[in-house]
Amino acid sequence: MNRFDWLPAFMTRLQEAQVPVRQAQDDGLPPAKVLDIDPEHWGRAGRQAADFDCRWAGVWADHLDETLAVFGLFEKAGDYLVLRTRVEVATPLLPSHTPYFPAADRPERHVQDMFGIAFSDHPDARRWIRHQAWEEGEYPLRRDFPVAGRSPQTTPPDDQYPFLRAQGAGVYEIPVGPVHAGIIEPGHFRFQAVGERVLNLEERLGYVHKGIEKIAVGRMPQELARLAGRVSGDSTVAHAWAACQAMERALNAEPPPRAVALRALFAERERIANHLGDIGAICNDVGFAFAIYQFSRLREGWQRRNQELFGHRFLMDRVIPGGVDADLAPGGADILRADHRRLAEELELLFDILDDHPSLEDRLLGTGRLQPETARRLGCLGYVGKASGQDFDVRRDHPYPPYDQLAVPVAVFEEGDVAARMRVRMQEIRDSLGLLDRLLDTLPEGETQRPLPAAQADREGLGIVEGWRGEIVCYVRFGEDGRVARYYPRDPSWLNWPALERIVLENIVPDFPVCNKSVNGSYSGQDL
């Protein structure tokens, strides 16, 4: 399909629905096309996008003097479209996209909490991210709100959040978190159950809000890349790459070919490390401790090699604006190829055990099933979406260098259970090992970084990469002095966390941990 060959038909559909739009005449928001729309038509435009089978991919806002710009991101056939509007700061009101896209629920509430934009027909007006840290009428991402906040007092406990309730004979409630027995980040899960059967689960996140979007303002590109790498520490390569990609697109800059290949090498190594850890953890949550010992051993060796060759176990701060900050020394390619062969051989033995272990199958097969239609409506990404029939991967469907020169296989299953989510991870490790060998075989010679040109005011760009959890989106706008004026990262966890609430329904309470681990959403990536 040619890029955006569906856009004329969509614009015709908008016109027929009496939704006037204006296609941006400037560079737009590379690589997306931009349609400007009046705020009163925002909801109707969202409805038409839903009827046109677009996938909702994100929403963010930007404070511009006396107005608030709002951006809605959609994907279709690997193309990205941005709907853009403005509302007055004095009267920040917009129709909601949530009635047509359930995926928009929490991101719109985030915009509401941070900017004070009210979504008139949103089905849920409860605070999402702010908890009790700010008073009513205070909106932390507006320009006039100080970085340090206005009150030095301790934040009061958030013990009055109105969770949904289930009533009836035998119904009881189980609160889990936000502080957990393990070392995971804080998140609250409220169950209603009868016996061991889960009737309802509601999540309450936002306990690790870091102020990422606020403290990004005023940073130079190099500083933003470092901050982006800390949005979610297990996705440091992918988030830094998305931020650098957005800045480079905004400034029409291209990193050297060798740097681009090394970025992909880092990203695939990050994917493999996390999938190894998750496979072991999923098995451990159903009492199969052998697997966590073996996969943790393999992951540790993999990360030690990162440290040896590239200077950091998690490859943090290796991706920088204009390139990378670590090169592969002579002889490094041979070391990595040997590692790939050894890992592939060990994994096939381990995967055979996982595929033919009756007690493991008993706990994973059919557990935590997410129907493909539900996954589609929620916009699920990565292994969560792929295990439920969602055949999408940015590396293949919206290829960016160097993936535009590689054939990227995509593992897709229909079963939608914990076993399928684990099988996606298993196959992605195999596929990533193949991609790594191809990257090494074709690794260009030359420089690994180039300086970025000076940033002009209001230059903006989108970064879109496939992290190990799925599609990561990043928006960057520069200010007058070449510093960052707005940074918004959208982790795939925003769209995968709601799936957990559907996955556990009608399952037994003891299966919640393995259902949760099979999704493994990032608390930090969602709690900006």
- On whether residue 194 sits in a domain, the answer given is no
- On whether residue 188 sits in a domain, the answer given is no
Is 404's pLDDT higher than 90?
yes
Q: Could you read off the pLDDT of 155-168 as tens digits, one per residue?
A: 777 778 888 887 88
pTM (2 decimals)?
0.94
Mean pLDDT calculated for residue range 492-503: 96
Residue 235 and residue 102 share a domain? no
CB 74 within 8 A of CB 83: yes
Q: Could you read off the pLDDT of 75-109 as tens digits, one per residue?
A: 999 999 999 999 999 899 999 999 999 999 999 99
- On whether residue 187 sits in a domain, the answer given is no
Distance of CA 39 to the CA centre of its chain: 27
* Cβ atoms within 10 Å, residue 465: 27
Is 503's pLDDT higher than 50?
yes
Which CATH number fits the domain that encloses residue 238?
Answer: 1.10.645.10
Percent of the chain whose predicted confidence (pLDDT) is above 70: 99
Distances (CA, A) of 341 to 27, 306, 335, 441: 45, 17, 10, 14
Residue 233 and residue 108 share a domain? no
Ramachandran area for residue 287 (φ above 0: left; ψ -120 to 50: alpha; else beta): left
Residue 248 and residue 115 share a domain? no
Q: Give the helix/strand (H/E) hosting 175.
A: strand 171-176
Mean pLDDT calculated for residue range 297-307: 97
Give the whole-angstrom CA distance, residue 241 versus residue 224.
11
Last residue of a domain, one of 72, 89, 119: 119
**How many folded domains does the chain comprise?**
2
Residue 216 and residue 115 share a domain? no
Q: Is the dihedral of CA 491, 497, 503, 509 positive or negative?
A: positive
pLDDT band at 25 (very low <50, low <70, confident <90, very high): low
- On whether residue 38 sits in a domain, the answer given is yes
- On whether residue 157 sits in a domain, the answer given is no
Q: Could you read off the pLDDT of 125-142 as tens digits, one per residue?
A: 888 887 888 888 889 999
Mean pLDDT calculated for residue range 492-505: 95
Is 1's pLDDT higher than 60?
no
Tokens of 477: 């706008």
- On whether residue 156 sits in a domain, the answer given is no
Residue 222 and residue 101 share a domain? no
Q: Could you read off the pLDDT of 225-257 as tens digits, one per residue?
A: 999 999 999 999 999 999 999 999 999 999 999
Last residue of a domain, one of 86, 119, 152: 119
Residue 395 and residue 280 share a domain? yes
The more confidently predicted of residues 48 and 178 is 48
Is 480's pLDDT higher than 90?
no
Residue 262 structural domain? 212-319+331-526
Mean pLDDT calculated for residue range 262-270: 98
pLDDT of residue 170: 87
